[in-house]
Structure 1
Amino acid sequence: MDFNALIDGLGGHTLDGLTRGSIYALVALGYTMVYGVLRLINFAHSEVFMVGTWTVLGVYTVLGADSESAMPMVIFATLTALVAAALASASVALAVERIAYRPLRKKNAPPLIFLITAIGCSLVLVEIFGHVLKVFFGAPFGRAPVNVPSPIQTHTLLTIGDVRITNVQVFIILGAVLMMVALDLFVNRSRLGRGVRAVAQDPDTAALMGVNQDRVIMLVFILGGAMAGVAGLLFTINFDITKFDIGFIIGIKAFTAAVLGGIGNLRGALVGGLLLGIVEVYASAVFSSNWADVTAFIVLVLVLMFRPTGLLGESLGKARA
């Protein structure tokens, strides 16, 4: 254990943790929204995130954008990748809901069947995507990570003491926070958002009041998928890689973030994601980078043991504007 390494670089480690945690928080929104409305852990959400990362790579490839691109191309490629990733991930999330979950809802299937179906959907999407990539692109698109050349060049914006704040870190943290604030305002202030909260609180009463439950559920999957797509863009900007099973570990960590903050609570997803990212980076500094994933699982177990409702613990149905 090397606590001196943590103390000496505390500011930099905290900033790195916030950057990583912002990505976890965006993915966690999909878990927390679906659980808040359906009481379902959508394990296929990790593959929704994966689709977003590959969409970003596809957009960069088609546009020919890389680190040598001029600023107008950088802005255009980034915005195009953002929209495309959000749309692609939202479409996959909606397809999963329509094909896998909706028939089960119509048959009033028990929760265990939904859980098994979610795990099955996750595995099916991973294998289908992996085989499709191998057929069209060949062996390099197997289990090895694939480079995603981000057009955004990393440079220092500000230096405070020994802490170097880069443009990529600012972009990721501010982008994630703005997306989550926009989603929170939408759910708590808009007419459609009131429908989401009504179904989350009491679906039968909401139906009697004229709320279309199917439409609300579709909206929840679309919004959660779009957030995962945005997270896919931010992930590729920060780490420059993807692979067909990239969503597995990220999905578990995002689920941990949702549980840590209080699954079913939108603001809890933000808090949980940021805290988990910081804890991971601190653990890597004290022990080694090999402990980053282990730390996330330890946090999940501890939260479930001592505070299963999470830090905030308020459900989506009880959220107030």
Structure 2
Amino acid sequence: MLSTWMQHLANGISLGSLYALIAIGYTMVYGILRLINFAHGDIFMMSAYFAFFGITVFHVPWYIAIILVVICTVILGALVEKAAYRPLRDAPKSSILISAIGVSFFLENLATFLFSGKPKAFPEFTFMTTPIAIGGVSIQPLMIVVPIVTLVLLGLLLLIINKTKLGMAMRAVSKDYEIAKVMGIEINKVIGATFAIGSGLAAIGAILWGMKYPQVQPMMGVMPGLKCFIAAVIGGIGNVKGAVIGGFILGLVEVLLVACFTSLTGYRDAIAFVLLIIILLVRPSGLMGEKVIEKV
């Protein structure tokens, strides 16, 4: 019985780590622009395709392919920001939101056109997915690697935010966009760097997700994207540490509830939305979020 619960706990932590890694991208963009980047899940999807073609089609060694995937995804994120968001910087928030949704649909349809809607098998990483029995619990090396990668990247990101000039500029822009502009901060560079970092994290998340769920298709970013957005809201959207905590909470709740109530298996995706509603009713700003007064 104990080993069964330990197995569920390990699965929940592994899934939560993936949610957390992708949720950081949402919360970074929102923290600076007060914008929900709905295209983030589709950038995640394009990263998975980059990995698929790099390793399977062009036979690039996996350790080189991972670096190339991150670079390509960072470039894609920067292009999306420059083409779809930067021209609308001073437009009403609703216009930017519509643009974000448009980019999301564009990337999904572009992937369908270029790669077809047929699911493709993600490259196998047997050294990461071969189970190892530890105390009656079946653990894949991936289940240990994912939380470690998430926490290491969180540490590096916090180091950038708190100890570098770029991080200082990010914090200034997130506090007051207009004052930061007057103070001489290069807004476009700061926002471009934010999108680039968020996209890079999405790329790493996509590779780890593909190892865990080895299938690539154009709509694969929709549900993970929504769930990671929910994780960011749970933790307090705009707060990086909160996004990570929200990801872990969502992953654990999702796995443990299904384990306790097997009749809910078919409603697994709905659990995230129920949890979102509860959090918004009890604590609208999230667990670690601050109340934000919108400027008129």
Correspondence for 1:205: 179
**Aligned pair 1:120/2:115, yes or no?**
no
Correspondence for 1:267: 241
Whether contact under 8 Å (1:53, 1:232) holds in the other structure is yes
Whether contact under 8 Å (1:35, 1:263) holds in the other structure is yes
Q: Which amino acid aligns with 1:100?
A: A
**Aligned pair 1:44/2:39, yes or no?**
yes
Whether contact under 8 Å (2:24, 2:232) holds in the other structure is yes
| TM-score, with structure 2 as normaliser | 0.92
**Aligned pair 1:130/2:104, yes or no?**
no
Correspondence for 1:11: 6
Whether contact under 8 Å (1:51, 1:88) holds in the other structure is no
**Aligned pair 1:183/2:165, yes or no?**
no
**Aligned pair 1:246/2:224, yes or no?**
no
Q: Which amino acid aligns with 1:92?
A: L
Residue 134 of structure 2 aligns to a residue whose secondary structure is strand
State the alpha-carbon separation in 1 of the partners of residues 9 and 191 from structure 2. 36
Correspondence for 2:65: 81
Residue 290 of structure 1 aligns to a residue whose secondary structure is helix
Whether contact under 8 Å (1:29, 1:224) holds in the other structure is yes
TM-fit CA distance, 1:121: 1.1
Correspondence for 2:274: 298
Whether contact under 8 Å (2:122, 2:214) holds in the other structure is yes
Correspondence for 1:97: 81
State the alpha-carbon separation in 1 of the partners of residues 16 and 172 from structure 2. 30
Correspondence for 2:265: 289
Q: Which amino acid aligns with 2:281?
A: M
RMSD, aligned CA: 1.9
Q: Which amino acid aligns with 1:193?
A: G
Residue 164 of structure 1 aligns to a residue whose secondary structure is strand
TM-fit CA distance, 1:54: 0.8
Mean Cα deviation higher: 184-193 or 40-49:
184-193
State the alpha-carbon separation in 1 of the partners of residues 47 and 291 from structure 2. 27
4+ residue runs over 6 A deviation = none
Q: Which amino acid aligns with 1:204?
A: E
TM-fit CA distance, 1:114: 1.2
Correspondence for 1:171: 145
Whether contact under 8 Å (1:187, 1:193) holds in the other structure is yes
State the alpha-carbon separation in 1 of the partners of residues 23 and 76 from structure 2. 17
State the alpha-carbon separation in 2 of the partners of residues 110 and 295 from structure 1. 33
Correspondence for 2:17: 22
Whether contact under 8 Å (2:45, 2:220) holds in the other structure is yes
Q: Which amino acid aligns with 1:230?
A: I
| TM-score, with structure 1 as normaliser | 0.85
Q: Which amino acid aligns with 1:21?
A: G
What is the percentage of aligned positions where both structures have the same residue? Answer: 35
Whether contact under 8 Å (1:263, 1:315) holds in the other structure is no
Correspondence for 1:55: 50
Whether contact under 8 Å (2:41, 2:221) holds in the other structure is yes
Whether contact under 8 Å (2:3, 2:137) holds in the other structure is no
Correspondence for 1:72: none
Unaligned runs of 5+ in 2: none
Unaligned runs of 5+ in 1: 66-75, 135-141, 317-321
Q: Which amino acid aligns with 2:75?
A: S
Whether contact under 8 Å (1:157, 1:166) holds in the other structure is yes
For residues 221-247 of structure 1, give each alpha carbon's deviation from its aligned partner in whole angstroms, at most 9, with x where no partner exists: 000000000000100111111111100
